[in-house]
A and B are shown apart, each in its own frame.
Chain A
Amino acid sequence: MSRPVSFREAVTLVARREFGQRIRERSFFISLLITLGIIAVVVLLPRFSDFGSDSYDVALVGDSSALEEAVSRQASVADVEVSFRSVSDADEAERAVRDGDIDAYVDGDSVVVDQSLDSSLRAVLENAYSQVEGARALESAGIDPAEVSAALTSATLETVTLDPDADERETRGAIAFFGTIVLFGQLITYSMWVAMGVVEEKSSRVVEVILATIPARALLAGKIIGIGLLGLVQLALIGGLGLVLASALGALELSGPMITPVLTALAWFVLGFAAYASLSAAAAARISRQEDLQNVTTPVNTLMMVSYFGAFYVFLNQDSPVAGVLSIAPPFSALIMPLRMARGDAAGWEIALALALMVALIGVLVVLAARIYEGAVLRMGAKVSMKDAWAARRRVSP
């Protein structure tokens, strides 16, 4: 009733189990929700701190249509929001200012405020007032009001930006930096899951039952692929929902250049995870109890922490030569290159070199990790030394 199971089928079965079991665990959704919550807070914070600074309520006393029009025009030039409140007389306007219903009112040649006049509102009102008064003076000197108005409105300064993409680049850099934090969290969490999964199999002895049916390498590969896929799915959800959330809250505009850093981060997650998960699995195979896990995975975690702090350094010192080196040298590149790529700082050859080196490192690590894993995973009890694990590789059955 059974037929031979190919290596690939064995890997697929193991990977499917790992993915299916873990996606059902509550911790998967909890960590997803927490990360999205953090994104929402990060997106919303600047809006809360700015609140009210660029929107004003103003009343104009008396006949004021010319002034109102001029204020509106100035407000749009200065990128502030001014709304008008109609009042019947100066007394009512004064009450409104005292009660804080409006920020200021203009009566004749004076502007009345409760305590102080905000500088941007002052600039808007002053410019508008002098424009209106200037036009009136010119009119009374006999110049056609239409010409005056045309001359005044056309005389605006146009801003020429030498680096028109700077804003967008900054935004992408910020997304990528935040992405680095999330990426680091994913790498460390999911590598830890691999390590914990390996030890769970050893401590529960199920590994003996499994390895009586499939090769150790199939179990290792399936575990890393299954857990890695889950990490990738979660990261894609975080990236996608994060972008949607940020654009819904108005922090950024959802467009191709904004999505690219997220895709880059996903690709680098795959590479980084392959390296760190192999190391974690090999480390975990040497022990038989969860309590010893911290002990053997410390070197791997330290490596990740160093990359993480490297990413901070690079974010703050984008032009330093160290940034260039760190973004190319594996395994640091997994966290740092996405950052530089998002800002457009990395040259094509740098990206290509970083990719090539990372893939080469993964190739070496996978071979080493598989051998250590095979040599250690069936040896219960005390921690297996690296040397023993290396030498004691179980002969592969023909």
Chain B
Amino acid sequence: MLELDRLSRRYGDVVALDDLSFAVRPGQMYGFVGTNGAGKTTAMRIVLGVLEPHSGEVRWNEAPLNQDIRREFGYMPEERGLYPKMQVHEHLVYLARLHGVSGITATKAASDLLEALALSERASDRIESLSLGNQQRVQLAAALVHEPTVMVLDEPFSGLDPMGVDSMAAVLRARVDAGAAVVFSSHQLELVERLCDAVGIIRAGRLVADGTVDELRGTGAPRYRLDVGAPPGWTASLADAVPGLSVVEDGGRTALVELPPSADDQALLDAARALGTVHQFTPVRPTLAELFRSVVAEPAGAERAGAEKAGAEKAEAA
């Protein structure tokens, strides 16, 4: 299990990570989401040892990380980086060998990966001659070629076309199913929702939500979509009848309402039926995007601190 334990990191006076903790199990795909500058890249760079935390530590199977353990890790940095003049296949073999893979195994692993990512034809082309999308696939291959047990991928899907996303997702899924632990950051929340077994939401260097997608979606106040055959204005009567009910959307016949967490949904249904024929009564669970917006919405003071940090982090990364 990969554990990030109370990581803190400052850039000058600006706090980039503040007691950040979460864990990723083998066989788990962990989505790491947060606004720009929330600290995702900082956290990932610390995991890979490219940056030192000011406090806290990262452990793999209870042991603090060192160069030898990190050898088993695969890393795709936010700023893509490969030798522009090297050939694709040769480059992958080189990286695998730096990770301690034997020459023969590395050659085969690189060929297999290029096949899976539909890049076999470009194997002997120079990296710089590839399109950006293809360079990105090679970058992913570079993170996977030594068959890492842990993969840390910073925005692996940004800038890819849907086919690229699918082939990359399939490759990652296969690795996860084979027992690897994957952490990736993304702003594409639908994608995270679809791919990930667990999600962490980071805000201003702190983890504000952590759990499986189902758990997270279940934590919010329950919402229901109602379609009632009653004259417009029925929602006001409903709100009067059910204590604590709030109307989120009022569309005349249909409405979206939210109950307080402890309330009884059968009481809501009874109240609605008292007003007219109930055509629809559906529990609505928030999407990850909605959840994300509600979780990262924060007081103005904290917002400003986050923005400053964003600036500092970008300056460091630029």
Which residues of chain A have a CB within 8 Å of any CB of chain B?
A: 1-5, 10, 13-14, 17, 21, 200-201, 204-215, 378-381, 394-395, 397-398
Nearest neighbor of A394 in chain B, beta-carbon distance: B52
B91 to chain A, nearest CB (A): 9
Best-buried of B67, B82, B101, B105 by chain A (most CB within 10 Å): B67
A5 touches B98 (CB 8 A): yes
Q: Decide: A1 and B67 in contact? CB cutoff 8 A.
A: no
A21 to B87 alpha-carbon distance, docked (Å): 10
**A5-B99, A13-B94 are contacts. A212–B73 as well, Cβ < 8 Å?**
yes
B77→A213 contact, CB < 8 A: no
B163 at interface (Cβ–Cβ under 8 A)?
Answer: no
User: What are some 16 contacts across the A-B interface (CB < 8 A)?
Assistant: A1-B146, A2-B96, A4-B68, A5-B99, A17-B94, A21-B86, A204-B81, A204-B82, A207-B81, A209-B75, A211-B49, A212-B70, A212-B73, A378-B51, A381-B317, A397-B70
Task: Please name all residues of chain A whose beta carbon is closer than 8 Å to the beta carbon of B102 when the two chains form the complex.
Answer: 1
Taking the complex as formed, is B209 at the interface, i.e. its CB lies under 8 A from any CB of chain A?
no
| Shortest Cβ gap from B127 to chain A (Å) | 9
Q: Top 7 A-B pairs ranked by shortest CB distance?
A: A205-B81, A2-B100, A206-B81, A205-B79, A212-B48, A5-B100, A212-B75
Taking the complex as formed, is B147 at the interface, i.e. its CB lies under 8 A from any CB of chain A? yes
* Pick from A2, A21, A204: contact of B71, CB under 8 Å: A2
Question: How far, in Å, is B64 (CB) from chain A's closest CB?
Answer: 8
Docked CA distance A300–B161 (Å): 47
Question: Nearest chain A CB to B41's CB is how many angstroms away?
Answer: 11
Q: Kindly list chain B residues whose C-beta atoms are within 8 Å of the C-beta of A204.
A: 81-84
- Decide if A209 touches B142 in the complex (CB within 8 Å): yes
- Residues of A near B67 (CB, < 8 A) are 214-215, 397
| Mask: chain B, 33-71; 1 = CB below 8 Å from A; 0 = not | 000000000000100111110000000000001111011
> Is B18 at the interface (CB under 8 A from chain A)?
no
Contacts A2-B100, A381-B318; is A209 near B82 (CB within 8 Å)?
yes
* B83: A residues at CB distance < 8 A: 21, 200-201, 204, 206
**A29 CA / B79 CA spacing, docked (Å):** 34
B residues at A contact (CB < 8 Å): 45, 48-52, 65-68, 70-73, 75, 77, 79-86, 94-102, 105, 109, 142, 146-147, 315-318
- How far does the alpha carbon of A200 sit from the alpha carbon of B95 in the complex, in Å? 17
Known A-B contacts A2-B99, A2-B146, A381-B315; A211 and B50 likewise in contact (beta carbons under 8 Å): yes
| A176 to B50 CA separation, bound complex (whole angstroms) | 47
Q: Which residues of A contact B65 (CB under 8 A)?
A: 397
**B50, B100, B142, B316 — most chain A CB neighbours (10 Å):** B100
Q: How far is the CA of A220 from the CA of B66 in the complex (A)?
A: 20
Provide the bound-state CA to CA distance between A212 and B146, in Å: 13
Task: Identify B97's interface contact among A13, A379, A395, CB under 8 A.
Answer: A13
A381 touches B82 (CB 8 A): no
Minimum C-beta distance from B153 to chain A (A)? 12
- Whether the Cβ atoms of A208 and B50 lie closer than 8 Å is yes
Q: Which residues of B contact A380 (CB under 8 A)?
A: 79, 316-318
CA distance A381 to B317 in the complex (A): 7
> Which residues of B have CB within 8 Å of A395?
52
Which one of A2, A14, A21, A206 lies within 8 Å of B82 (CB-CB)? A206
Could you list 18 further interchain pairs (A-B, Cβ under 8 angstroms) beyond the known A2-B100, A208-B75, A209-B77? A1-B146, A2-B96, A3-B100, A5-B71, A200-B83, A201-B83, A204-B81, A208-B79, A209-B95, A209-B142, A380-B79, A380-B317, A381-B315, A394-B52, A397-B66, A397-B67, A397-B70, A398-B66
User: Smallest Cβ distance from A76 to chain B, in angstroms?
Assistant: 61
Residues in B whose Cβ lies below 8 Å from that of A213 = 70-71, 95, 98-99
Q: Considering the complex, give the chain A residue whose CB is closest to the CB of B152.
A: A212
**Nearest chain-A residue to B86 (Cβ)?**
A21
Measured CA separation A140–B95 after assembly (Å): 98
In Å, the complex CA distance between A381 and B311 comes to: 13
Chain B residue with Cβ nearest A202: B81
Q: How far is the CA of A205 from the CA of B80 in the complex (A)?
A: 6
Instruction: Determine if B146 and A209 form an interchain contact, defined as CB atoms under 8 angstroms apart.
Output: no
- Which residue of chain B has the shortest Cβ distance to A205 in the bound complex? B81
